[in-house]
Amino acid sequence: MKATYYKHILDFKRPSGTSRGILMQKETWFIHIVSGEKQGIGECGILRGLSIDDVPEYEEQLRWTCENIELGKDQLLEKLMEFPSIQFGVEQAFLSLNSEFPYELFPSAFTKGTAAISINGLIWMGDEQFMKHQIKEKLTAGFSCIKMKIGAIDFDTEIRLLKSIRKEYSVNDIELRVDANGAFTPENALEKLKRLAELELHSIEQPIKQGQFAEMAQLCERTPLPIAFDEELIGVFHLEEKKKIIETIQPQYIILKPSLVGGYKGSNEWISIAENNQVGWWITSALESNIGLNAIAQWAYTLNNHLPQGLGTGSLYTNNFNSPLRIEKGALQYDNNKLWEVPYIQ
């Protein structure tokens, strides 16, 4: 068994705004395993500036992983504890290697093309006109759940945008989620949550920056709007630590990005803890290519979570890999009439 790794730069179709700035490109890495006639591939989807494993020795760790691939999945996951994106790439690559088809990691009605996954339509940050244009596009495309990133432009403008949606579409027509990416402060967050709650939103992601446990716990206790957090989960490796965070903060939801929290294994731990504490959850991709998106989507389908998932990132890039994944009427589908085209695997 031999393994190699590859770097791939994904180019955005148009600059994509986040609370951390404008994204033009997204770096990602792949682990490719060959064993006899079989091949497997997995994506290590690092997010610079957010992933806990965004460290100078990242590529060195990838090289070590490939050189020691004979250790097998379980031992590698243990040794890669502080590199969650590589953990996820390893999990995918071994599943791919041991599957009948390298891209069918979790055979199901989804991979057969007879079932779809409801997803939210993502509205990127930008000026008012750009955001209005995106909202109109998503509604025309048949999305029943829209997630809007807020915190980059004036809050009153964002409230006005949300009001304009609510004026035309009731809570029964469109589910609205917002993601603040930590843009509020502990001092102003509650007041802003009250204003947002008037618009009958589903939830808000990460209203204040992660790591402020006491402030977040107080906010979750007093909020008029359900709070979901994802960044709060980053860099938490051990089970007891995970339990402490959920039991201390008691959020209404957690959002799991496998590339950021240790793949399937890390995510499943969080899900188990959340359910034991009556905390809701859903799965979100983290700007992976279609390789990683496919691995997340197939797994997410098997979890039978009927909330809209955050899996609509595959169409953002000009140089993504051709795949059977497609979005239709606000749902992610698998079209078996389309073939995979990935240069790293034959």
Q: What pLDDT, on a 0 to 100 scale, did the predictor assign at position 139?
A: 87
Q: What pLDDT, on a 0 to 100 scale, did the predictor assign at position 174?
A: 87
Name the residues annotated as catalytic: 149, 257
Mean pLDDT along residues 93-108: 96
Q: Is the pLDDT of residue 19 over 60?
A: no
Q: Is the pLDDT of residue 75 over 60?
A: yes
Tallying the residues shown for the chain, one arrives at 346
Mean pLDDT along residues 96-117: 96
CA-to-CA dists, residue 293 to 80, 139, 148, 194, 238, angstroms: 21, 23, 20, 34, 26
Nearest C-alpha neighbor of 43 from the set 114, 101, 118, 93: 93
**Element (DSSP H or E) covering residue 194:** helix 189-197
Q: Which residue has tokens 């088809």?
A: 101
Mean pLDDT along residues 287-307: 97
Mean pLDDT along residues 146-165: 87
**Candidate from 12-16, 17-21, 48-52, 124-128 with smallest mean pLDDT:** 17-21
- pLDDT, averaged across the chain: 93
User: Please, what are the domains in the chain?
Assistant: 2-97 (3.30.390.10), 109-334 (3.20.20.120)
Q: Is the pLDDT of residue 77 over 70?
A: yes
How many Cα atoms occupy the beta-carbon half-sphere of 66 within 13 Å?
A: 21
Q: What pLDDT, on a 0 to 100 scale, did the predictor assign at position 164?
A: 86
Model pTM score: 0.94
Q: What pLDDT, on a 0 to 100 scale, did the predictor assign at position 186?
A: 95
Distance CA 9, CA 48 (A): 13
Q: Is the pLDDT of residue 293 over 80?
A: yes
Which DSSP string do the residues of 165-188 spell out, in sequence order?
Answer: HHHHS-TTT-EEEEE-TTBB-TTT
Mean pLDDT along residues 183-187: 93
| Position with higher pLDDT, 142 vs 7 | 7
Asked if residues 33 and 40 have their Cβ atoms less than 8 Å apart, the reply is yes
